[in-house]
Structure 1
Amino acid sequence: MSEPGNGPEWSPPEPQQQPARKRRRWLWVVLVVLVLVVGGCLAAVGLVVSEVSDEGSGEADSTVKVTYEVTGDARDVTVSFSVQGTGDLRTEQELEQVTGLPWRREIETSGQDISSTLVVTVGEDGGKATCRVRVDDGPVRTDTASGPNDTATCKAP
């Protein structure tokens, strides 16, 4: 028999190392390209929507002239007028005591679907007062109040 330690020693076989797995870089490249394409499409759609909404809102920015007039022989009248537009949801109102006619006021506003109201109330002394209101080149709306505390209302359009 052989003596221990003099011969080759037995050792278990070394495990075979598997080759390192190559990472799938092409998958990441495809994902990045896909994200860029989708992002570009969304940006283009947003730009088109923004331009279309800017074109549609151009009407809301146009200036509109509203003319109010009160004529007649009444010496004491109360004038109240308002203008309202849906484009900018703007409302203007004013109340004024007038001691001599004729009375006239022009205002400029912006928006769409402008509507305007003029109300004239004759004072205790009586008399006659006629109101007129016009929005831009639209039709003139008129009404007449006669006698003490009578009221005329003009609405346009």
Structure 2
Amino acid sequence: MRKKFAGVVIPCVLLVGCSAERAYKDETERLDNKEFEVVYEVTGSNVKDLTYGVGDRKKESSETVENPTLPWSKTVTMKGIATAPSLSLILGESGGKAECVIKVNGKEARRATATGEFGTATCVAVSPAGHGS
């Protein structure tokens, strides 16, 4: 009798484990396809260049703008639970002051300020894909 019982329990445990793994993969795929709007903004003076993130977890990349006209803004659509919107800037040799802001789905997510000669600021936000799903 023990052999029959043991033989039934092991496949059930494996089946439950496989089912949980499949559910996890399905949920991860659903969240990786969830889109959100990102607005990048830069204000101030003497920004030499700025770099901002675009894409999604599978094709995340960045774009650079040299000597941007300020104020500067860009709206992009991103997707995925592991995608992190990012914006960085560097000031020129003569210094200055500039601020970067990331808004995700209309709400401010990050803000940073750069000052002085070759000052830098970096903002990185969290994907909202897993929140309130």
Q: TM-score interval w.r.t. the shorter chain?
A: 0.5 to 0.7
Output the aligned Cα RMSD. Answer: 2.7
Structure 1: where are the runs of 5+ without partners?
1-47
Query: Does 1 or 2 have the higher relative contact order (CA < 8 Å, sep 6+)?
Result: 2
The answer as to whether partners of 1:76 and 1:125 remain within 8 angstroms in 2 is: no
Q: TM-score when scaled to structure 2?
A: 0.65
Q: Please name the residue that 1:4 is paired with.
A: none
SS of equivalent to 2:32: helix
Distance 1:96 1:135 in 2: 21
Q: Please name the residue that 1:65 is paired with.
A: 37
State, as a whole percentage, how many aligned pairs show the same letter: 28
Question: 2:53 pairs with 78, 82, 85, which one?
Answer: 82
> When the two structures are aligned, how many residues end up with a matched partner?
106
Letter in 1 for 2:38: V
- Determine which structure has the larger strand proportion and give its number: 2
Letter in 1 for 2:49: T
The answer as to whether partners of 1:85 and 1:110 remain within 8 angstroms in 2 is: yes
Letter in 1 for 2:52: F
Shift of the 68–137 alpha-carbon distance from structure 1 to 2, 3 Å rule, reads same
Distance 1:82 1:146 in 2: 22
SS of equivalent to 1:142: strand
Q: TM-score when scaled to structure 1?
A: 0.56
Letter in 2 for 1:109: M
Bigger Rg, which one: 1
- Give yes or no for the alignment of 1:132 onto 2:101: yes
The answer as to whether partners of 1:84 and 1:116 remain within 8 angstroms in 2 is: no
